[in-house]
Amino acid sequence: MNTKTKLGAVLGGTVLTVALTATGGTAWAAPATSTPATSSAAASPAAVTKLSQADAANRLRNAGITWSSSGNCTNRNNAHCTSFEQINLATVQGAITLKNASRCALTITGGTETGHASGTYSHWNGYKLDFNPTTCLSNYITGTFTYIGPRAGDGAPQYRAASGNIYARESNHWDVLFYSCGC
């Protein structure tokens, strides 16, 4: 293929390649399968920077983001706590980007503590945060991002940002999956 420009992007761990041809057309390359950089045979997400409870809390506090906990605690192994221990740096940066873009007050109600659904891109693995569903935040999400249908399993309405991040409206909070630091 004769190309002028070749661009690549990572979306949810999948590399997408777009090539602009000399005639101005666009050619999409199928996502390439890749093997993890580790010697492990099992697939794993790309290496991410993990934060401590103190580091994440300081970053969120400095951005004006608050959090609450039904147990008034931060113990990662207690489902009644709201913990940031082992959260991804990109998740914290994504929350800060969301606050700045939406101009809404944000309150986190769930972090990396036990008690959430499991999976590679889970709360426990540092990819998700739960937010109090204020009118400001709900209007921003539903008015800015693309509705992509109900989530399998629980039927929560989902919205996707241009960054690839997914916002699911559960019964009493927004469950946000941060693939990147964009909102």
- Enter the DSSP assignment of 99: H
Residues 18, 4: Cα–Cα separation, whole Å = 11
> C-alpha angle with apex 164: 159 to 168, nearest 5 degrees?
30
Output the six-digit token pair for 172.
């009493």
Q: pLDDT at residue 30 above 50?
A: no
Average pLDDT value for residue range 121-126: 96
pLDDT per residue as tens digits for the range 33-90: 333 333 333 445 568 999 999 999 999 999 999 999 999 999 999 999 999 999 999 9
Q: pLDDT at residue 128 above 90?
A: yes
pLDDT of 45 = 59
Tokens 């190309």: give the residue.
Answer: 3
Higher pLDDT, 17 or 99: 99
Q: pLDDT at residue 7 above 80?
A: no
